Amino acid sequence: MRNPFARLAWSWAVLLGGALSAAPAALINELKVNPGGSSDNPFEFVELLGIPNQIVPNVYFATLEGDGTSAGVADFVVRLGTFTFGGNGLLIIQSPTMGVSVPPQTRVVTDPLFDKDGGILENGTITFMLFSSPTPIVEGTDYDRDNDGQLELLPADAQILDSVGWTDGGTFDLLYTTAILTQPVGTPDAATRFPGNNTPTSAAAWFNGDLTSGPTDITYDLARVSANFPFGNPGQGPQPVLTPGRPNSIPEPATFLGAVIGVVVLASYLRRRSGR
Ligand SMILES: [Ca+2]
Ligand SMILES: [Ca+2]
Ligand SMILES: [Ca+2]
Ligand SMILES: [Ca+2]
């Protein structure tokens, strides 16, 4: 990559967690599951990452129940087969009334189920899935009839593109993914895929935590986050926040920013001194 501008653009794409450059057709990118306040609606959202301006045929987003005999039920299903990902590779599924503005490059898919009292994304044990399946994935279907943690009733032609989940510790709860997110207390309120990490079904690709108290808050409660939380600047300055409809990002540490500003100021001073 000789062109320095191309290299710069590529670096930014990686830094900002831009569109997919490699294999997976679509990934789960960010989840707000338990907004602050007593009722979760209408502030939950699901953000997906795909190939810019591409339709991914036969793709379904689904949440799978993890409790008791209901384990394996597809509680909430969105068929994405007709939706084009945004020019920035992002697609957000949210309430029609969430009221958060997103960049015009992001594809917005609204679903009134997010307005349901209490929201649509369960706060307990849950698995989030992206399937590719020529046979439809049907909301309300129990894909694990014998509750052994295997989805034996999935259509034979279904493929799992990505999955992630967590448990509230219920004795007989089940998860349908190996990408299990944890934190010191409780279940995550929200989770964010590390910018540039496009590994599907990988716990290491995510950081997560509780959110601060307001329903529209996008800030993580830094006392209750995952062990791998990428503290941008411990103790002060910007920290990673939820970015609904925007590329995930991690603030640069202040020391690095300070160094960059210092170099710019020094260069400008030297230019002035030399009269150029
Ligand atoms: Ca079941
Ligand atoms: Ca919820
Ligand atoms: Ca089973
Ligand atoms: Ca985001």
Give the span between the Cα atoms of 199 and 178, in whole angstroms.
Answer: 13
CA–centroid distance, 133 to ligand 1, in Å, is 20
Q: What is the pLDDT of residues 188-202, one digit of tens each?
A: 999 999 999 999 999
Determine, yes or no, domain membership for 153: yes
Determine, yes or no, domain membership for 5: no
CA–centroid distance, 192 to ligand 3, in Å, is 29
CA–centroid distance, 117 to ligand 4, in Å, is 24
What integer pLDDT is reported at residue 255 of this predicted model?
A: 56
Determine, yes or no, domain membership for 8: no
Determine, yes or no, domain membership for 71: yes
Q: What is the pLDDT of residues 139-153, one digit of tens each?
A: 999 999 999 999 999
Write the CA distances from 35 to 142, 162, 167, 184, 225, integer angstroms.
Answer: 27, 23, 17, 18, 15
Determine, yes or no, domain membership for 3: no
CA–centroid distance, 162 to ligand 2, in Å, is 20
Determine, yes or no, domain membership for 177: yes
Which tokens hold the place of 68?
A: 């008791």
Q: What share of the chain is helix, strand, coil (3-state, %, to 5)?
A: 15, 25, 60
Chain centre distance of CA 43: 14
Closest C-alpha among 78, 133, 130, 134 to residue 108:
78
Task: Say which ligand is closest to the CA of 28.
Answer: 4
Determine, yes or no, domain membership for 7: no
Q: What is the count of structural domains for the chain?
A: 1
CA–centroid distance, 216 to ligand 2, in Å, is 13
Q: What is the pLDDT of residues 56-85, one digit of tens each?
A: 889 999 999 999 889 999 999 999 988 999
Query: Which residues is 73 bridged to in the sheet?
Result: 142
Closest C-alpha among 91, 95, 158, 151 to residue 127:
151
| Count helices and strands in the chain by DSSP H and E runs | 2, 11
Task: Say which ligand is closest to the CA of 145.
Answer: 1
Range of the domain at 105: 13-273
Q: What is the pLDDT of residues 97-121, one digit of tens each?
A: 988 889 999 999 999 999 999 999 9
Determine, yes or no, domain membership for 2: no
